[in-house]
């Protein structure tokens, strides 16, 4: 079986959710999944579900539990770089058939690591490892290298009417 490099990007809602859907599909087919979340560091509802029901999915967060508002702090950079170093080994191990790098595009956008560094890790992956990178602002370098790119486009969103994130729906 061939493995590919996919990107889910865009300003619309659903990138991480789509990646979790693919992870669920992969587990249903008997595959092991590693779901790395960059920038994020809080417990979201999908993580609770995975930990409770899907032991074939490993989730690890490489964020501090807060949003980067303007400039990342050194702790943000350190967390992301440590995560990227760990991911290099995961990608090469052959232990996982699907590796999701959730919000890795955002980590690049905030200069926590470079697109070239991420691409080097992806290109050195085990031949049986599918990779999905999510997050807004996918850099052209990654788009050019990817086999599949899906853009989530916001048409209308209730956030614009002051509706806050709801547990079980947005987090």
Summarised one tens digit per residue, pLDDT across range 56-97 is 899 999 988 766 667 888 999 999 999 999 999 999 999 999
Domain count, the chain: 1
- Cα–Cα distance for residue pair 140/154, rounded to 1 Å: 20
User: 167 in a domain, yes or no?
Assistant: no
- What's this model's pTM, rounded to 2 decimal places? 0.92
Range of the domain at 97: 5-161
Helix orientation angle between 74-93 and 115-123, rounded to the nearest 10 degrees = 20
Count the neighbouring beta carbons within 10 Å of the beta carbon of residue 90.
Answer: 21
Question: pLDDT tens digits for 8-50?
Answer: 999 999 999 999 999 999 999 999 999 999 987 777 788 888 8
User: 65 in a domain, yes or no?
Assistant: yes
């Amino acid at each position: 079986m061939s493995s590919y490099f996919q990107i889910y990007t865009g300003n619309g809602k659903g990138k991480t959710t789509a990646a979790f859907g693919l992870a669920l599909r992969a587990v249903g087919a008997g595959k092991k999944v590693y779901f790395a979340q960059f920038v994020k560091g809080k417990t979201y509802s999908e993580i609770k579900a995975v930990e409770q029901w899907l032991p074939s999915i490993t989730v690890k967060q490489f964020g501090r539990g807060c949003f980067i508002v303007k400039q990342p702090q050194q702790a943000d950079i350190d967390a992301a770089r440590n995560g990227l170093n760990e991911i290099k080994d995961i990608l090469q191990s052959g232990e996982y058939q699907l590796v999701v790098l959730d919000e890795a595009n955002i980590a690049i956008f905030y200069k926590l690591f470079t697109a070239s560094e991420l691409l080097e890790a992806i290109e050195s992956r085990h031949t049986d490892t599918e990779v999905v990178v999510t997050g807004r602002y996918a850099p052209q370098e990654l788009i050019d290298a990817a086999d599949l790119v899906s853009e989530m486009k916001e048409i209308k969103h209730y956030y614009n009417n002051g509706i806050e994130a709801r547990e079980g729906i947005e987090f």
